[in-house]
Structure 1
Amino acid sequence: MSAPAEIPHRQNYPMQLLTVSGRSLAQLVRAPSHSRRAEAARKMARHWLYLSAAGATMIIVLMLLLDKTEIELMPARGTPGLWPIRILTDFGKDAYVLWALAAALVIVALVAASKHGTSRALWLGFGTRLQFLFLSVLTSVLIGEVLKFTIGRGRPFVGGTANPYNFIPFQGTEAHFSLPSGHALTAFALAFAVGALWPRLRVFMFTYAIVIALTRLVLLAHHPSDVMGGALVGIVGAMAVRYWFAARRLGFAIRSDGTIFALPGPAFGRFKRVAHGSSAP
């Protein structure tokens, strides 16, 4: 949600809300305008190649050397003492993360429609960043669902044995939706997206993502190679969404070497000053 042209004050609130929401959605599909988007695309393609090669190698190594050993060392499913892990792992559940971000977007739209001038611009700038977070996770999740269905890898001990090579492609059942891990995918997509906007939060967010990935192993929901695959898909998906936004000058810009960087965003302190009638710095 970038700051659209000023909407006439004579419109009633429902019309203000409809106009703000429509323009905020339209900005996502407008034609790319950044003059350096080709350089950014080439740089992203190189990063994708390196990440995919390294990730695929790690997945194969883990599948061959660690998956079976790791799941045999984990406590049995349903162990009573694992209840804190079961609560913690839900912080990486795609539906919860997406609904939370969607709710935040709705709140921003409702508030922005009641504002005007600088105040509205600040709220819509924050909304654009929420759109980026939401679409980074959603895009990665959709890619992950296609891969899960196509690969059809069985979860740990599906079939009764610790068999890391239990594949039934196009099975389409929850028992064979193991690769990539949806929780790891969601957590790493969110971590990359938040870190791209606010670099100071990178360490915290990637620590969160690693913790979520570990909970999936302890709960015997996934093999180590599954969470590695989820991390790879989440980061690659978020990178693609970041390029989409940068090419349209939404929250990001592109340097001459193709590096994408976040533009300065609205700070919460500025929201407070505007709300109290003070001018923004």
Structure 2
Amino acid sequence: MKSSSNHVWRILARLRGNARRAAMLFSGRRERACHNLNRLPPGQRPQDILAVLLLTVGVAVVVFDVPTYPWLRSLPGVYRSAFRAFTDFGKADWILISTGVTCLALLALDAGRYAFRLRMTVGAIFTYAAFIFYSVAATGLLAIAFKWTLGRARPKLYSEVGPVRFDFLAFDGTYTSFPSGHSTTVAALATALAFIFPAYRWLIVVAAFWLAFSRVMVGAHYPSDVIAGTLLGISFTFFTVRAMARRRIGFHISSSGKIEPNMNARSAKACLRAVWQVLRGQRGARRVSVEPAAPEETGRIDT
């Protein structure tokens, strides 16, 4: 019993130590960030994104929101059933649980004793999992704040109050339509994955589009709710990854001004190969320590 208790305390101490070192790593990049204070190009500045948000959401409210609900009611029920089957993949709980548990598990490891490729793997997985967790959690909290403050009526109240009814600070679940929380989560996750896996960017974008659009098809949100949530998730995650790239934490800004992951495809394959070899017992996980050779092996005789 005493040995198991000591083991738990050692793990907790390792968690605290690794978390402290990770915090020092993030906070010690301020000087490096000062060298990357290049201005954002037009179209990526906060005021430009706000202008796009106001324009697209306003157009969607006028053009798409009014005819959407009657159009959905005219569709066969099988359409809604099909989209209802996968719309819950846009919930934040499974994303936060998986990435949060991953970060805690990696913090509990004594990664310093691992070989180089394994240490690189642990560092990359922790950085990208923490990035996804932060982006999804922060945008989710922002979406909740906007929902309960603005108080837009959900589509199921279309027949009673219409598509543009707002009841500020109503604190009623039926008045939490704007913006779409699912769409915010999907957009944040998709943006993060698109930066981590740039080769699969378009596949990620298409999958995210259908997940976000499913909120309209199941009658939970208006198109403007989905557009607002999508822009919120994309914008916040973009500024997060840019702040990380300026500090070379998980990402970096290339000579052409693009944000690229620090671990390229070649390094990722080498790390996966090393992990696979360790799992199969083909190589050891511990780092090799070079010990000084004995006098007999060097050919020298001490006098």
Range into which the TM-score falls when normalised by the shorter chain: 0.7 to 0.9
**Aligned match of 1:54:** 52
Q: How far does residue 245 in structure 1 lie from its aligned partner after superposition?
A: 1.4
Q: Deviations over 1:224-270 (max 9, x none)?
A: 00000011000011012112312332011224665433212552552
Percentage of pairs with the same residue: 24
Please give the residue correspondences for 1:48-127 in structure 2 after superposition, counting only pairs within 5 Å: 48-75=46-73, 82-111=80-109, 113=111, 115-118=113-116, 119-127=118-126
Q: How far does residue 48 in structure 1 lie from its aligned partner after superposition?
A: 3.3
**Residue 142 of structure 1 aligns to a residue in which SS?**
helix
**Residue 62 of structure 1 aligns to a residue in which SS?**
helix
**Residue 249 of structure 1 aligns to a residue in which SS?**
coil
**Residue 249 of structure 2 aligns to a residue in which SS?**
coil
**Residue 39 of structure 1 aligns to a residue in which SS?**
coil
* Equivalent residues of 1:153, 1:166 under 8 A apart: yes
Change (3 A) 1:81 1:135: same
Higher relative contact order (CA 8 A, sep 6+): 1
Moved segments of 4+, more than 6 Å: none
Q: How far does residue 37 in structure 1 lie from its aligned partner after superposition?
A: 3.2
**Between 158-167 and 206-215, the greater mean CA deviation after superposition:** 158-167
**Aligned match of 2:5:** none
Verify: 1:273 aligned to 2:274, yes or no.
yes
Please give the residue correspondences for 1:219-258 in structure 2 after superposition, counting only pairs within 5 Å: 219-255=218-254, 258=257
Q: How far does residue 117 in structure 1 lie from its aligned partner after superposition?
A: 4.2
Matched AA of 2:123: L
Change (3 A) 1:108 1:272: farther
Aligned equivalents of 1:170, 1:44: Cα separation in 2:
35
Aligned equivalents of 1:87, 1:101: Cα separation in 2:
23
Aligned equivalents of 2:87, 2:157: Cα separation in 1:
20
**Aligned match of 2:181:** 182
Number of corresponding residues: 268
Gap runs ≥5 in structure 2 = 1-8, 288-303
TM-score, normalising length: structure 1: 0.82
Aligned equivalents of 1:45, 1:146: Cα separation in 2:
26
Q: How far does residue 131 in structure 1 lie from its aligned partner after superposition?
A: 1.1
* Equivalent residues of 2:148, 2:169 under 8 A apart: yes
Aligned equivalents of 1:106, 1:130: Cα separation in 2:
10
**Residue 156 of structure 2 aligns to a residue in which SS?**
coil
Q: Deviations over 1:72-103 (max 9, x none)?
A: 11149xx6874443231111012222222212
